[in-house]
Amino acid sequence: MTGLVRKATLLGACGLFVAAAAMANVPDPTKSSAPDFILVVGKVNNGANPDPAGLATVTVRDFANNPIAGATVTIDFSGCCDINLCDAGVGHNCAARTVSGLTNASGQYQFTVLGAAKDPGNLVPPAQYGGCGAHGVHIYANAGTGNVELKGSVSNLPPTGVTLDLNGAAGQSNGTSGSDISNEITLFGAFNLGAPYKGRGDINLDNNLSGADVSALIAHFGRLGLIQGVGCTGAFCAKPACP
């Protein structure tokens, strides 16, 4: 009997070990971290580099809080008809409307989303161009065990997509310009008159549209003037207008 108990105990321990080993390569959303907002940006230095304002990090960990290296992280913009990605940006997939890459040894994937919104800015408030509200972007991690969705570290909700070029993908400008500031004022005006929140204009990242967003975009425009900001150096991914 004692031998049977020992065998049962040993088998049970082995089973727990195997289960733990299997879970060690499964991303755990409660231990992983992701941004609550993703800034979609253009390039600077005459198109030589991505705007550093857009740099973001996702960290993928397992149930024991260990980093997972080599996991595929996908940033999915397919639900945001008002945001267009740049074609041929690093990791950018036009067909899927995603940006993706692999985590490093620390379980981190650092990325910059290149693109712009396509609000033509020709509507009178409270009318507004369509598109994403809050939490319209989705982040997935896959370590060979299937997609696991990661949420914002503060909100515990999917991130909100924000653009620093509100009309670049509408052909109105290339990079942040004075016309984007005009668009931001119109968007804020529409929201103030009861139109829905549109994440693309939440420049100061506070889940609201206000004069503070206009000020934040003006400040960004001034900064870009010093480092020669531009939009996509190539074409935008093809995407129909918002309904």
Strands, sheet with 83-85, edge to edge from the N-terminal-most edge strand? 83-85, 113-117, 37-41, 160-163
Q: What is the mean pLDDT of each run of 10 residues along the chain (243 residues)?
A: 50 42 80 98 89 96 98 97 92 96 98 95 95 97 94 96 95 86 96 97 97 96 83 88 87
Q: What is the pTM of this model?
A: 0.88
- Alpha-carbon dihedral sign for residues 191, 208, 224, 218: positive
Question: What local confidence, expressed as pLDDT, does residue 10 receive?
Answer: 43
Question: What local confidence, expressed as pLDDT, does residue 23 receive?
Answer: 59
d(CA 110, CA 99): 11
